[in-house]
Structure 1
Amino acid sequence: MKLINKSMLTAIITLSTASVYYAQQVQDTTSKSTDIEEVILQGVTDIAKDRKTPVAASTIKAAQIIERLGNQEITEILNTTPSVYATKSGGGFGDGSITMRGFESRNIAVMVNGMPVNDMEGGTVYFSNWTGLQDVTSTIQTQRGLGSSKLAIASVGGTINYLTRSADMKKGGVVRLGVGNNDYLKASFAYNTGKSDKGWSSSILMSRISGGTYIENTDFEAYAYYFALGWEPNKKHNFQFTLTSAPQWHDQRTFAPTIGNYITYNPDKDGTPYRQYNSDFGYYTAPNGDRVALANRSNYYAKPVMMLNWDWNMSEKSKLSTVLYMSNGRGGGTGDLGRVGGKSLTSFYDNTGHFNYDAVFAANAAVNPYAANAANGGTLIRRASINSHNWYGILANFQHKINENWNFSVGTDDRYYYGYHYQVASDLYGATGYKEGGNANVAPYVVNKVYDYKKLSWNPFGGSTAPLNEQIGYSNDGEVLWYSGFGQLEYTNDKLSAFVQGSVSNQSYQRIDNFVKDGSTLKGQTVNTKTGFKDLIGYNIKGGANYNINEYHNVFANIGYYSRQPFLNAVYPNNQQLLNPNLTNEKVFSTEIGYGFRSSKLSFNVNLYRTEWSDRWLRRSNIQFQVPDATSPTGTSIVNGYTEINGITQLHMGVEFDGVYKPTSFLDINGMISVGDYKYKGNATGTNFDDNNNPIDGAANTTLYLDGVKVGGSSNNSIPQLTASLGATIKPVKDLNVYGTWRYVGEVYSTIDAQTFMNQANQERGTLKLPDFNLFDVGASYKIRLRNQDQYFTIGFNIYNLLDTTYISDGATNIFGSDTITANNDPDKGKTYEQAGRMYKGIADGNRVFFGFGRTWAANLSFNF
């Protein structure tokens, strides 16, 4: 039953006031900004000010994160923010995804203390590398749209800025213990020394998390550490050094099963989907006779980040803020590689829908990879795809207050990045080795050394690569040089605040393929191990103004244009050493207007926006292709891979409403609603590749008929175009909070499947729309204070998806009920899904999806001292 539809939107906007777990306080609009810290943007963090900065922003404090996050992904705390959709995706620890205004994380600028953390080669953000943020974050601010950041960053959909605790926090400490479903266990300790008479201060935090998630065989182990050292020798200088990391390993579910398989492999055999089902692992019989689970897909990573911040108050009117930072990431992800007896791993599923590793081990044992006539890749193993990097940067911002009303700032953002990408053996699955076919630089060789993904690397300066004769599949590096300058001019008075800002950047890319020999010939062109650097210039300009009509009402508007350089994989497409002959910058044009109301009891915002993004290049990963296979009983087999799409244009428009209502001192009512209209404009071209970069279905570009089609997600995730929430917090007695939130997600569109839109007939029916859903979360927290008011215990409890609703959070395919079933071993082959009665909540059960988690829970106990 639907609890909301479009005809009810007007009523909801009228009856609900919206927010995102935060209450914006009424500002004193009669006071003037006399301190440079109070201007629209501060330091290098670019934090938006309420009723000053003309952008749509939402802020969440540490107290709400600690109280409500529990064992969820840190991005999920943003789910009651307008136009934000965060899911657990496949369900592995830290594997969640997020979209903002219909744009995915590679096009959302994610920052820590103003430092960009999006991958410099592809723009992606792997939140499993940042799980420690939930322990050290003091504030999360989201800015939807182009935002107020001065940097040349990928804020097409918006900006998420995590502000961590500083070294000079108040003296004290906290010990926390958390438990949850599926053996979740977390313990942490933090302590702040406070600031000494000589200006020294420090802060430390250590934590460990382990257990599993709601999904089968998704065990994990993660640590987090944080150290901050501050020194303020005088009022002119303040130094802050921080070091943080969250080394972890976790087993995964990366490929979405079909709805039919969720139902078929339900142990209860009751015709309902088994939401925990994971097809990415199996069992083998250990020498002692035990049946042991073995994951094919897993992830492991350690990404220590070091930052040195220096704030120099040069005079009453001038300030220089500088950040030096370093990030050396080490780790990767696992999957299968090779074939044994002509069979891939997907040919070894048992009748429970899991891999029969006993059969794989037996087949591998019969092969001698060292034999002179042994086939290349003739054993089936688990490989680890390494994605390590060294990243160094400097960010400097000079601010000057010209007079009471005018300010300007100029600065630079310079970075160097080197990424290492290759594969090694992670488990031989009973084989004595894996034969690598060799390449232009190395003759064929056999690899028998394995790298255990559960042995975490704590050394950020450790070796970044394995020896070349232990690398398999591919071995390529990416080198990026980034230089940029930015400037801003700002005007403020009692009622008006306005700014104009711009930046220009040079991104220089080089691809290095260690399996390519200098002077080789590729497609009639001479190529080398190193491509040499390709310089690409980009720029942006944006501006906006906010006008406070009176103490209650304000209006704002902003406009911006980006000419953004494409990512490395678009500069050298198809994972080859050839420069893209059609290289062009992506263009983003965005406009937004907004209105805000503030009073002692009611605060709300309304925003309207339009963003057009053209000349876009996109890689859609984690796709399963069905290809002809004469050795398979079905005549086909599944190949894991990706699609590269060129020439995309997207148009995103929408309206947002959010606010908070406080009728009494013991009741807060929160809510939000956002309605979007996201469509593709024009057609595009696409090419399919397997995970080892081999073309599928030919290498020629194929037209994708996307014009007018609703924008869908990528990498097995979806994009909703209608979200709403309504929540309340009750404070019946002092220090007791009881809260609940209802959330609605509608107009959800599945991943754009390139294979589907190669057929022009599929253009009219468009992207597959998934069922709408409603969720309820509840929780409570209570403080037990001791005689010393600085010492207290806090008890908290949360239940997520209280009603245990079964819903699809993400879709990976576009199969309609009118489509014909084609699998050779399917008894309904030749029928449509509708004719065969193979429909689930209105969609074909051949669609690959991720079901959201069922009812889960988390509890915590902490002691502050």
Structure 2
Amino acid sequence: MKKFTQFLMMSVAMLFATAAFSQSTVTGKILDAEMNAALPGANVVEKGTTNGTTTNFDGEFTLTTQANSGSLVITYVGFGSKTITFTGSQDLGTIKLLTDNSLDEVVIIGSGLIDLAEDRQTPIAVSTIRASEIQAKVGTSDVVATLVNTPSVYVAGQAGGFGDSRIAVRGFEQDNTAFLLNGQPINGMEDGRMYWSNWSGMADIANAIQIQRGLGSSKLAISSVGGTVNFVTKATDKRQGGFISTGVANDNYFKSTIGYNSGVTESGWGVSAMLTHWQGDGYNKGSYGEGQNYFVSVGFKANESHNFNFLITGAPQTHDQNFTKPISDYLQYGRNFNNNIGTYKGQYMTERTNFYHKPVSNLNWDWNISENSSLSTVIYASWGRGGGTGNYGRSAARIRNDQGLIDFDAIAANNRTLGDGTFGNNGYLIRGSMNNHDWYGLVTNFQTKLSENISLNTGLDLRTYQGKHYRQVVDFVGLSSWTESRDLRGANHQPDKNDRVFNTVDQSYSIEPWYATFNTTPSDQRLDYDYGETISYGGVFAQFEYANDNLSGFFQGALSTQSHEREDYYDYKPEFQNAEKVNNVGYNLKAGGSFLINDDNSVYVNAGYYSRQPYHDNIYLNYTNEINPLTSNEKILGFEAGYAFKSQYVTANLNLYRTSWKDRVTTSSRQLAKDTDFGGKIIPAGDLIYETNEGVEQLHQGVELDLVAKLGDRLKLKGFTSIGDWGYVDDVVTTTRDENRNVLARESKDVDGGKVGDAAQFTVGLGIDYEILERFSIDADWRSYDNLYANISPDKDNIELPTYDLVDMGISYKMLIGKEKTSSLNMRLNVNNVFSEVYLSELRNAYVAEPGDETYKGINVRNQGYFGFGRTWNFSLRYNF
């Protein structure tokens, strides 16, 4: 019995010893493969058991396994699962997960060109929106609407129509924020502006959007005054599959999309393609839109060292436009009133339609030279064709009915009494202002590790751009032809009455975007203006970075030269049609460093100086060949500092910034609410006027805070706030011009202390995401906007718009389909502005309310602007296979 007891005790001890010996400690770090970013809260489970853990906010995990060898199953909502084998205690290193949407499991091509925040260890103020969130929340909005829940971002202009949104970052408009598509610049070469109607397919093809506020991590010779927005598109998919999706929304909106991926063959080839059609009436009257999106990506992996990808995408579209108007008009006719529309022969008609097609293509080559060195190169091109329509002739010929709408039948009747039309006999027609371009470029970047702690990036940025601008007739509205005269300009750029020419136009042209893509209007059928420009750009850049376990620092510099040539074929004598060539040199310098205090706390500081060349449209005066002597390089000086806290359940970022911007030249436009006297010349109501401001200086400073908290396995809380102080400094010179670019007035004024408008200087937001059941979740976002001022030319006196709050909500459900559960049906319902808040989203004037003036919430109703949308909704179904 004693021996048996001893044997039993020894057996138990051996069992415990065996169990202890069979256990292992496995560690690793889980990242988003596309964005190279940590995935906090990812599940790590030992296969065949319930033993598991989750990653912390750095994506790291430690798991004591029940067996000495086996497999770990790693999952994360929105990403494909991964199974990793282990043997004994070991560090599995970095494990990358791919998102599980069909076109999202991609190879990122040109990764050395796409300046993502994670590519440099020194931090910046950054927010990343991934494909799953873009697809869920964009609805019928422009793609920039996905950025509204980030600090210091304000989106305006949606009430203008599909694609007319504008985004401001830290109070700087989008012509002063850099936008990149897979590393290539896409801001307009002439004026730096972005027209989101040209990019209506971006929400369908974007794999991620990363907004870098402030100095950013871009190495190109571009001035990220407000920030840098990187659009990372899908490329060739790794696996075979596809999707079909459809969506409906308020105001008869409908969208359908189909996409398919061949997968990568054994020989290294693969193709991904997508096609979309959309259409809708628009929230406001007279804002109908319709278009298509197409995307084709062909990839070839020649070997482990060389990877190629060809991509072409485009979004031909038309959308009718709504312009700002006096608040009094909205109060009289309704908040969705549009005075650009009417009827003609019993059918709806508008005088304001945007139509455009901008195919974009690029060829990427990634070369892994060695373990420490690589070269990424992209050759790209875009061909823009289209423009916008509007009234042409005498504004007095625009006849309105008692509902404030255009009476095209009455206009046609008046036109028919004229026989033909000229400026002098009250004729009226609808013109199309064409803005065509051809743009070619190359960006190449060589990166290498010089040592264990030091890395180098260096490269080239080359671009050439040719623009063509003219007007053509879209609809004669009862006229048979149009005749106009002009006095040609000579060496002094002034019209010469002794050299007067006449031109008669008798052909009209379609505004269908595919037609506009291939049509070129003959020069004798162009009216009002006909000019072009050639802009050539060359830049070099380099960046050094040092990084060890706790400390990092970088220095980056870029030098660029830009030349401008202008040709005017309409207003100049033949020998003076070519303007003097202008060359400008610019540069930027950036440096920064960070220190990791411990695993949970870190700090950083960055500084940068830019000398940026003025835009083309500000170099030549009054749309003539005369050079503006006041333009010079704009000077931007920026400082920012930040603190980051990361723990298992909470991550938070605090950023401080100060940006000064000197020697600015800006141009804005507005529609006159009433007949206005400019030095004895009466400009009638409804006409557009343009204001150019020279020598503008702005100072923007503020604080930003964003946080994410994981409150249990199913509930996530997000929040942000931004407090800004954005104002003008010193004096500004303002030149006012009419729609035909004639100078109406010029004055100098003190604007010191004036508030910068068009973006709320105080924002706060809170969002929740709760998973009710597996794959069934609900989310809600609340935002409040305050200290929002009118979008006017620099002025000492500005008016503040009323504070407003918005609440958006959404419900998502993902149903797994098929025996192997490899297909899914995703359903999403969004309701925006749930409580139908009535608010002014922007104003274009700053008329102070005087005693006796009619007001709306304290605002003089003479002021022109937009009301924001009321409650809207959209619902989508997406079948992935």
TM class by shorter-chain length? 0.7 to 0.9
Q: How far apart are residue 732 of structure 1 and its match?
A: 1.2
Q: Which of 739, 745, 748 does residue 703 from structure 1 map onto?
A: 748
Q: Is the 8 A contact 2:271 2:297 kept in 1?
A: yes
Question: Partner of 1:783 in structure 2?
Answer: 814
2:761 aligned counterpart, secondary structure: strand
Counterpart AA for 1:811:
L
Question: Partner of 1:767 in structure 2?
Answer: 798
The list of structure 1 runs, each at least 4 consecutive aligned residues, that deviate by more than 6 angstroms after superposition, is: 28-35
Q: Does 1:844 align with 2:822?
A: no
Instruction: State TM-score, norm by structure 1.
Output: 0.86
Counterpart AA for 2:568:
D
Counterpart AA for 1:692:
N
1:731 aligned counterpart, secondary structure: strand
More strand by share: 2
Q: How far apart are residue 636 of structure 1 and its match?
A: 5.5
Question: How far apart, CA to CA, are the structure 2 residues paired with 1:848 and 1:727?
Answer: 32
Q: Does 1:103 align with 2:172?
A: yes
Q: Which of 409, 416, 420 does residue 369 from structure 1 map onto?
A: 420
1:769 aligned counterpart, secondary structure: coil
CA deviations on 1:186-222 (whole Å, 9 max, x unpaired) are: 0000111111111111100000001121110111111
Counterparts of 1:815-830 in structure 2, within 5 Å, are 815-818=847-850
Q: Does 1:864 align with 2:880?
A: yes
Question: How far apart, CA to CA, are the structure 2 residues paired with 1:553 and 1:316?
Answer: 32
Counterparts of 1:472-483 in structure 2, within 5 Å, are 472-483=527-538
Q: Is the 8 A contact 1:330 1:457 kept in 2?
A: no
Question: Partner of 1:614 in structure 2?
Answer: 662
Question: How far apart, CA to CA, are the structure 1 residues paired with 2:257 and 2:158?
Answer: 26
Q: Does 1:279 align with 2:310?
A: no
Q: Is the 8 A contact 2:667 2:691 kept in 1?
A: yes
2:837 aligned counterpart, secondary structure: coil
Q: Which of 121, 133, 150 does residue 64 from structure 1 map onto?
A: 133
Q: Does 1:256 align with 2:287?
A: no
1:693 aligned counterpart, secondary structure: coil
Question: Partner of 1:835 in structure 2?
Answer: 852
Question: Partner of 1:807 in structure 2?
Answer: 839
Question: How far apart, CA to CA, are the structure 2 residues paired with 1:861 and 1:672?
Answer: 30
Question: Partner of 1:353 in structure 2?
Answer: 404
Q: Is the 8 A contact 1:94 1:128 kept in 2?
A: yes
Q: Is the 8 A contact 2:363 2:379 kept in 1?
A: yes
Counterpart AA for 1:473:
D
Question: Partner of 2:730 in structure 1?
Answer: 682
Higher relative contact order (CA 8 A, sep 6+): 1
Q: Is the 8 A contact 1:572 1:578 kept in 2?
A: yes
Counterpart AA for 1:861:
L
Q: Which of 428, 437, 447 does residue 505 from structure 2 map onto?
A: 447
2:788 aligned counterpart, secondary structure: strand
Counterpart AA for 2:509:
Y
Counterparts of 1:30-109 in structure 2, within 5 Å, are 43-49=112-118, 52-109=121-178
Superposed CA RMSD? 2.3
Question: How far apart, CA to CA, are the structure 1 residues paired with 2:535 and 2:169?
Answer: 27
Counterpart AA for 2:619:
V
1:134 aligned counterpart, secondary structure: helix
Q: Does 1:149 align with 2:210?
A: no
Q: How far apart are residue 639 of structure 1 and its match?
A: 2.5
Change (3 A) 1:709 1:24: farther
CA deviations on 1:542-567 (whole Å, 9 max, x unpaired) are: 01112221111111110000000001
Q: Which of 300, 306, 310 does residue 231 from structure 1 map onto?
A: 300
Q: How far apart are residue 42 of structure 1 and its match?
A: 5.2
1:222 aligned counterpart, secondary structure: strand
Question: Partner of 1:725 in structure 2?
Answer: 765
Change (3 A) 1:159 1:375: closer
CA deviations on 1:728-758 (whole Å, 9 max, x unpaired) are: 011011101101111111100111147xx5x
Q: Is the 8 A contact 2:279 2:290 kept in 1?
A: yes
Question: How far apart, CA to CA, are the structure 2 residues paired with 1:76 and 1:569?
Answer: 28
Question: Partner of 1:644 in structure 2?
Answer: 692
Q: Does 1:176 align with 2:176?
A: no
1:218 aligned counterpart, secondary structure: coil
Q: How far apart are residue 773 of structure 1 and its match?
A: 0.2
1:308 aligned counterpart, secondary structure: strand
Change (3 A) 1:278 1:637: closer
Higher mean alpha-carbon deviation, 547-556 vs 416-425, is at: 547-556
Change (3 A) 1:690 1:23: farther
Q: Is the 8 A contact 1:369 1:378 kept in 2?
A: no
Question: How far apart, CA to CA, are the structure 2 residues paired with 1:709 and 1:375?
Answer: 40
CA deviations on 1:157-183 (whole Å, 9 max, x unpaired) are: 001111011113332101000000011
Counterpart AA for 1:66:
Q
Question: Partner of 2:17 in structure 1?
Answer: none
**Number of residue pairs aligned between Structure 1 and Structure 2:** 773
Q: Is the 8 A contact 2:631 2:665 kept in 1?
A: no
1:90 aligned counterpart, secondary structure: helix
Q: Does 1:387 align with 2:435?
A: yes
Counterpart AA for 2:342:
G
Question: How far apart, CA to CA, are the structure 1 residues paired with 2:129 and 2:651?
Answer: 16
CA deviations on 1:680-710 (whole Å, 9 max, x unpaired) are: 00110011112211222x4xx3113311100
2:711 aligned counterpart, secondary structure: strand
CA deviations on 1:459-487 (whole Å, 9 max, x unpaired) are: 5xx35x42111111111111100011000
Q: Is the 8 A contact 2:673 2:862 kept in 1?
A: no
Counterparts of 1:475-494 in structure 2, within 5 Å, are 475-494=530-549
Q: Is the 8 A contact 1:377 1:436 kept in 2?
A: no
Change (3 A) 1:53 1:350: farther
Question: Partner of 2:710 in structure 1?
Answer: 662
Q: Is the 8 A contact 2:696 2:731 kept in 1?
A: yes
Change (3 A) 1:783 1:67: same
Question: How far apart, CA to CA, are the structure 2 residues paired with 1:132 and 1:594?
Answer: 35
Higher mean alpha-carbon deviation, 477-486 vs 191-200, is at: 191-200
Question: How far apart, CA to CA, are the structure 2 residues paired with 1:251 and 1:562?
Answer: 38
Q: Which of 236, 239, 247 does residue 167 from structure 1 map onto?
A: 236
Question: How far apart, CA to CA, are the structure 1 residues paired with 2:92 and 2:776?
Answer: 38
Q: Is the 8 A contact 2:529 2:571 kept in 1?
A: no
Q: Which of 489, 508, 533 does residue 581 from structure 2 map onto?
A: 533
Question: Partner of 2:198 in structure 1?
Answer: 129
Change (3 A) 1:457 1:133: farther
Question: Partner of 1:191 in structure 2?
Answer: 260
Q: Which of 725, 732, 751 does residue 791 from structure 2 map onto?
A: 751
Change (3 A) 1:512 1:768: same
Q: How far apart are residue 574 of structure 1 and its match?
A: 1.3
Q: How far apart are residue 456 of structure 1 and its match?
A: 2.6
CA deviations on 1:645-691 (whole Å, 9 max, x unpaired) are: 10000000000000111111100111100000000001100111122
Question: How far apart, CA to CA, are the structure 2 residues paired with 1:378 and 1:510?
Answer: 36
Counterpart AA for 2:328:
G
Counterpart AA for 2:695:
G
Q: How far apart are residue 519 of structure 1 and its match?
A: 7.2
Question: How far apart, CA to CA, are the structure 2 residues paired with 1:33 and 1:486?
Answer: 33
Question: Partner of 1:715 in structure 2?
Answer: none
Question: Partner of 1:854 in structure 2?
Answer: 870
Question: How far apart, CA to CA, are the structure 2 residues paired with 1:51 and 1:409?
Answer: 11
Query: What is the aligned-residue identity percentage?
Result: 37
Q: How far apart are residue 375 of structure 1 and its match?
A: 5.2
Counterpart AA for 1:257:
K
Q: Is the 8 A contact 2:357 2:513 kept in 1?
A: no
1:473 aligned counterpart, secondary structure: strand
CA deviations on 1:829-850 (whole Å, 9 max, x unpaired) are: xxxxx314x1111111111110
Q: Is the 8 A contact 1:616 1:648 kept in 2?
A: yes
Question: Partner of 1:13 in structure 2?
Answer: none
Larger radius of gyration: 2
1:748 aligned counterpart, secondary structure: coil
1:776 aligned counterpart, secondary structure: strand
CA deviations on 1:350-407 (whole Å, 9 max, x unpaired) are: 211211112211111111227xxx6557411111111110000000001111111111
Counterparts of 1:269-308 in structure 2, within 5 Å, are 274-284=334-344, 286=345, 291-308=346-363
Question: How far apart, CA to CA, are the structure 2 residues paired with 1:562 and 1:157?
Answer: 12
